[in-house]
Amino acid sequence: MSEETKVTSTETAAPAAARAERPARPFGKKRFESRRKVCKVCAEKIDNVDYKNFQFVKSFTMESGKILSRRITGTCAKHQRQITKAIKRDRNLAILPYSLPKK
Ligand SMILES: [Zn+2]
């Protein structure tokens, strides 16, 4: 009985010691760098997004024709609204695609 208890005590003690010996995680070091997203429309000082500027508007769409979300592009709410409107106008005018067929 006494031996069994001894074994269990050593078993529990060993991993604890190993945990203590393991080097600490490098907190505070460069694990990932968060880059600040800047609204492209604000940066270029465009006050109103124009549907005729389709080359610029196109940069906010995916290759498949989907509109990229604000989360991805980092545009501000005001300009995202203007961009979506411009994209939808361009789609209606057949300047931009609604979708592209899958290859
Ligand atoms: Zn903006």
62 alpha carbon to ligand 1 midpoint, in Å? 19
Residues 6+ apart with CB under 8 A from 3: none
68 alpha carbon to ligand 1 midpoint, in Å? 15
| pLDDT tens by residue, 50-92 | 999 999 999 999 999 999 999 999 999 999 999 999 999 999 9
Q: What is the per-residue pLDDT for 9?
A: 46
Please determine, for residue 30, whether its predicted confidence score (pLDDT) is greater than 90.
no
Residue 88 lies in a domain: yes
Residue 4 lies in a domain: no
Q: What is the per-residue pLDDT for 1?
A: 47
SS3 of residue 59 by DSSP: coil
CA dist., res. 40 & res. 10, Å (int): 61
Residue 52 lies in a domain: yes
- Buried b / exposed e along 53-86 (16+ C-beta atoms within 10 A): ebebbeebbeeeeebbebeebbbeeebbebbbeb
Q: What is the per-residue pLDDT for 10?
A: 45
Whole-structure pTM over 0.95, yes or no? Answer: no
Residue 77 lies in a domain: yes
Q: What token pair was written down for 91?
A: 């789609």
Residue 76 lies in a domain: yes
Here the CATH number for the domain that contains residue 58 is 4.10.640.10
Quote the domain boundaries for residue 73.
Answer: 40-92
Residue 55 lies in a domain: yes
Number of domains composing the chain: 1
Please determine, for residue 35, whether its predicted confidence score (pLDDT) is greater than 80.
no
CB 37 within 8 A of CB 74: yes
Please determine, for residue 4, whether its predicted confidence score (pLDDT) is greater than 80.
no
Of the two residues 13 and 66, the one the predictor is more confident about is: 66
32 alpha carbon to ligand 1 midpoint, in Å? 26
